Structure 1
């Protein structure tokens, strides 16, 4: 306790926190050093690779036996498959099912990365905008290109609200255009922001756990927040995927 008090005093004198909740999001080289280039293997690289391996293990290795009475991994894989298939069919219709593999892969990667980030000392890759922006831009570009390929210039009908009074249509067209290009921004910030905030709060409560007086309360708060983060990890993957389906529907059926 004396050492903790001295550390706290030193931190107070320097005007900073004794613990730093955002340190868990720092990108670090796996094999030491301070320089990070595009080819450097980092903690982000490691946990991105583990997320991909987790998806392969569940969907490929877990279903390889194709048992009539499925085991745990096969049951989870089949539930995930049915869940996303129904989502795509309900939102995009039968025409959207040809894009099911992409949406399924997107969901499984995000949910795997989110859950892996809950492991103690793990790195939450989906808390970084560098990751979520790439995912959001991939969806945005795919949907936009698909919209023009499938509909030609008729895709621009997405921005022309024909049901509105004629005088308001140009104004609404500008609003629709702005909201369309804001999609990748909101798509990426929503995922990264929610995960970053939850993990930072857990780290804050963990820092207070060292103080004997409030340690039991802190442990209870950590447990509650961890349970909430498990739910958030799934919900954010679901939200990202369902918005992708909505954007895909706009590309397939752009007219208002």
Structure 2
């Protein structure tokens, strides 16, 4: 469990699942906003930019359980369980599936998570990877009927304002080019100052921060899935200056592009 975190747009090469024990706030996933509270379970897909905003104070703590794993790794263990395997593949690959659920019987899930954690800690070190796989198989077996039979609230999520969605779509289509606020503002028919103000007001972050994460997502994907040189990947991701690309990458990812490729 964790009681602290840093607010920022970010992504992960694997799956990230977050269960909210205590705390209220919202999460931005792609172009949607989800309100979250205790009992919420979040499923974040690989390389999916997201931004968690929690209202934290002395009388309002934030406590979560965080689960990270590589989906290809888990898929190997799910081959013997076709129903669970399909459910997991839908969560991971289906763009229309709901990624945030307010689960019923939260006390049961919390007990399951706590008991599983204590059990895995008792395993000898060489067996802990196997124990983690068994935990994940059991977790998805537990979640499948809850997830598939749930009735999500009509107010559980909503899209951004149309202009902010336009801004995000424009960045998706133009992130590899040199960024010009004037070009973006013309595309959405607003002044540059209004574009910047509106984006920050709705998302809590700047356009530059969102653009950087979008470029980093592309760079990480290319590093893991192609044999292109690091310099070529930097250029295709929007950084023609190789030294600056390496500097930004290390600042945000915590390692050089070459280290990331071979980790």
Q: TM above 0.5, one fold?
A: no
| Structure that is richer in helix per residue | 1
Q: Compare the two structures and name the one with the higher strand fraction.
A: 2
TM-score between both structures, scaled by the size of structure 2:
0.22
Using CA pairs under 8 Å that are at least 6 residues apart, name the structure with larger relative contact order, 1 or 2. Answer: 1
Larger Rg: 1
